[in-house]
Structure 1
Amino acid sequence: CSENSHGQPQLPVGFFLLGFSEHPGLERTLFVVVSISYPLTLVGNTLIILLSVLDPRLHSPMYFFLSNLSFLDLCFTTSCVPQMLVHLWAPRKTISFLGCSVQLFIFLFLGTTECVLLTMMAFDRYVALAAVAWVFGLVESVVQTPPTLHLPFCRHRRVDDFVCEVPALIRLSCGDTTYNGIQMAVGSVFILVMPLSLILISYCAIARAVLRINSAVAWRKALGTCSSHLIVVTLFYSLVITVYLQPKNPYTQKRSKFFGLFYAVDTPLLNPFIYTLRNKEVKRTLRRLLGKGVDSRDSQGRAD
């Protein structure tokens, strides 16, 4: 914090989120893409939640986890995309210290929660494990946000990213970031490496069990049950690992911005489509609910 002329402490100044400001044409293109993706994300994830709540046939652990994932994606994308759209269009790309702090906290909270939630989905347990995922995400955010925000940031305050997240803010520091680097590395082990290892162990056990059964039907059933989750896990973890666990140099930093944008915008959009397009129960429920809506409107029109 700095001090004013009366010797009273002032609030920390904000930051400049550079994004791809050196490529104005690319920013205009991204503005159009994100403007289309965001409403589709809201509709797709809201639809998953409504279907899981309204249809008793979908009151099962799998759809409970799906609705949790959809709610998480709704919160995650809403925490950054509206501000991202403003910065992609406007020449001035500022964010207040408070806004950056809130965004950083939410990013850590929801990103960690999704890592753990995808792990819980691999083991197909229920409410208690979903609660563990949310609590784990909250604890990780509470632990990592304050040390990041207390770094001695360089005076130019230019964050070379679209959002306030830990790697970008660490790069902005002009002081010693050894502790923050160690903390991020340890956190990555707990929220990335360990959950991904558990997921792989779970699927290895499933594959071993299926291999013992010499049946094409069993193979198709296992593939149908696990493929959607595997696609989401592969997409999510490949993007997160690319952003957080790669050597830091100018080339990888620019590449990280692209992958970070895809992680923040397109992953929440694709998740509901991956699960619904490969899920017959969800599609049947949607057709049934839409059919009821049409029938009720027709009967009301005949009554009038």
Structure 2
Amino acid sequence: MRLVFAGTPEPAVPSLRALIESPRHEVVAVVTRPDARSGRGRTVSRSPIGALADEHGIEVLTPEKAGDPAFLARLAEIAPDACPVVAYGALLPQSALDIPAHGWVNLHFSLLPAWRGAAPVQAAVRAGDEIVGAATFQIVKALDAGPVFGVVTEQVMPTDTAGDLLERLSVSGAALLKSTMDGIEDGTLRAVPQPDEGVTYAPKLSVEDAHISFKLPWAAVDRHIRSVTPEPGAWAEFRGERLKIGPVTYADELGIGPGELRVERKRVLVGTATKPLQLGEVQAQGKKRMAATDWARGSRIEQGERLQ
């Protein structure tokens, strides 16, 4: 089939690569978010999907909005059989959905109908889900509500961050998306409507959503930190400034209040509503990431100081 692939960030790269390498399909163009400024130098850079398309000489379309007339005209001119989508990052109007013969097929990183929305893996980790997954479905106007072609699953390990799971799901999901395209071409695959029960939502996360409260039990604090690692990045306030916090480990200690810091020779503990956690790496404002013990020594933490 002639495919126009839509996607933007790194987790979409394995899927695009799998479709480019497939002998059964031809990726004739990609749709990605416009080039953006990033890094300290604020240099303009291509999205990971745009960069991979450039490497293979594939046409790159970067509309400001997917409803732009010029974009719709070019998409109609290309006349794709189907448009696979992975984390494109923009809404698709009905005028765009109507163009490909087999529609737009999304790879979404959740077990639908659970965690519809922009941050499904993060939501699953914070909620304590033991199994996560990815699903391919036909895009309809309602958010992530279209019928499902197939799923893959992944067990959540105790130390998994959202980034760890997304990396694994991006690989297994790529294979799922390719097999979905194969089944659509063969006419052997039919999408199944999602059930009405079990619908949950996972909206896009802000920096404020990554503010950690140590007034919660240790397991909830641990899941919250892992759910926002690496993005947008867990943080708490220390001496009025933000301190970024890496994944933590369980410490079987007692007698530390929520947010209270205890500095020992080889570890730094922080209290929760139940038992404390041991800090791993932290990053103070304007500093590089470092071991919590190095940060604590340099900060000369006094007894009773807390993370807020």
Q: TM-score, normalised by structure 1?
A: 0.28
Q: Point out which structure has higher relative CO (alpha carbons under 8 A, 6+ apart).
A: 1
**Larger helix proportion, structure 1 or 2?**
1
**Larger strand proportion, structure 1 or 2?**
2
